[in-house]
Structure 1
């Protein structure tokens, strides 16, 4: 993952407070989608139905966002290569990743799901090493080791308490994390050309199309119209408050705080899920899980500190591979 050049900017106090609030709210809301999925599963729906409803209900919002962003003055026209990359990114980042995530949630508690997904920064770093020949500082390797040690602690504890299905569910969530890491690793150059909000809006439209095609190949579309009413209400909350709003909140936070500070505040997501899962779903919190969560967050904080990326990236190799 390429480290952007550091630019020192003085942010007004009020703008900084708004940015901190947006970043924190975005992290918590995005993580809460796992809680809503767990509630929906109680009504007999599965991962594909949860994902399809989420994507269809959020689609009008992302279409409106895409139209708004495309009409901004000074936008660079997109090339065929840009459009092709958006299709790939939409399939990787919001179709496959979400599908594996919701499928895995059928088998694992939300606390473990969020910790595994929180390995995204480490996957992006490793992709940079093997695909883009990025050099990694010693502190980054230490952060990787700490993060994986924390996940291992929580994984072993859940395996002991809940049984072998944790293996399958954790594997699915791990695939979700890897898919999203590929999306992040491939999107850097495109974001600078297309813009973050326009890229997200277009990618979500592609992901919705892929999800709907998947559903139509496997299911009767009439099934989506015959689900229990609470499923639709939960899906609408998921689409607005755990999909669309977190995306826009995070972009607003980046504009006010910079990417580094906004990324560090994302640690609030998995922390909130540990307690939300216990409160709303009755999931047990053990001492080992709390220790593992603290270890993972410590590793991610090491990774997201500006000083962690101390080895310069060879720009010609990193950008040439994309």
Structure 2
């Protein structure tokens, strides 16, 4: 018995000895500038994602409808993700590749998150201003918590309820305080964007396990490719092929939407997350609504008065409170899953 205990202790000591040098080694290999670069990459990705709504509002001035714009975006973006997916697939050995069931599930989840959610968001922007759209979408973390509780029995924490309440109070102030937002068209647009936030929250919940099975890059490639095919199918069922060619003046904006508000920020966020983790990326992403509001005011001439100021502070305060508390280091018992 003593010998067995000694062997166990020896093995534990050996593992500890191997584990201890890892922190200094990472510090030497990845100096402080590595983490600074991670924050910069994540911030750049969040800011590029933030201009999406403004670009869409500018494109709509050319009379392009939601289905056509989504198809145009996918035509330009999907080939890049498909190439990345093919590269990731070739890197995996046969045993490490996801099976057919996992691939099919990744495709279905991708259609939910990248097609259905995007279509609802794009449709909402037909009548809703860009800054309100970004703030409504930014409440999706609370919906992840709510649906996680309803569907998977995840714990429902008090700080999530407080943060959600503060955020939705902010949205109420924005709609109630500005008469133009209380009109039927704006409310319908807000409903579309709220539905987009719901479907994106469901996507986040269902995607987690599939990302672990496939890897982030391969999962994104599969999901985006499936969403792109669905977007093109929806387009060709309802539009003539000629409608896929936009007016000449809109080309630059659509290219910017596909490249600088879809492809580039996706890779920037991935690179940033690799350096600072998902927790750091979540906190850095709180810059996104601020960028959207500033660009919408400067480029689109959207109003910004006391309802917008109070609403923005409430939403950012609610999400910021939730993010800071949710990402605090916690102690985990054996067998529990640590922070991502």
Alignment of 1:215 with 2:235, yes or no, is yes
For residues 1-322 of structure 1, the aligned pairs below 5 Å read 12-73=31-92, 76-160=96-180, 163-225=183-245, 227-307=246-326
Contact 1:57 1:239 (8 Å CA) reproduced? yes
| Separation in 2, partners of 1:313, 1:85 | 30
How far the C-alpha of 1:279 sits from its partner, in A, is 0.2
| Separation in 1, partners of 2:124, 2:146 | 23
How far the C-alpha of 1:185 sits from its partner, in A, is 0.4
5+ residue gaps, structure 1, are 1-7
What secondary structure is seen at the aligned counterpart in 1 of 2:64?
Answer: coil
How far the C-alpha of 1:283 sits from its partner, in A, is 0.4
Distance 1:309 1:130, change over 3 A: farther
Distance 1:197 1:302, change over 3 A: same
Superposed CA deviations along residues 91-139 of structure 1, whole A, max 9, x for unmatched, are: 1000001101111000100010000100110111101110011112222
5+ residue gaps, structure 2, are 1-22
TM-score of the aligned structures, taking structure 2 as reference length: 0.85
Contact 2:68 2:243 (8 Å CA) reproduced? no
TM-score of the aligned structures, taking structure 1 as reference length: 0.90
How far the C-alpha of 1:315 sits from its partner, in A, is 12
How far the C-alpha of 1:161 sits from its partner, in A, is 5.0
Q: Looking at CA atoms only, which structure, 1 or 2, has the larger radius of gyration?
A: 2
Report the aligned-residue RMSD: 2.4
What secondary structure is seen at the aligned counterpart in 2 of 1:283?
Answer: coil
Superposed CA deviations along residues 154-190 of structure 1, whole A, max 9, x for unmatched, are: 2223454562211100000011111111110001111
Contact 2:176 2:182 (8 Å CA) reproduced? no
| Separation in 1, partners of 2:147, 2:268 | 27
Give the number of aligned pairs: 310
How far the C-alpha of 1:307 sits from its partner, in A, is 4.8
What secondary structure is seen at the aligned counterpart in 1 of 2:91?
Answer: coil
How far the C-alpha of 1:218 sits from its partner, in A, is 0.5
Compare 67-76 and 41-50 and name the one that shifted more.
Answer: 67-76
How far the C-alpha of 1:311 sits from its partner, in A, is 9.8
Contact 1:32 1:242 (8 Å CA) reproduced? yes
| Separation in 2, partners of 1:181, 1:136 | 15
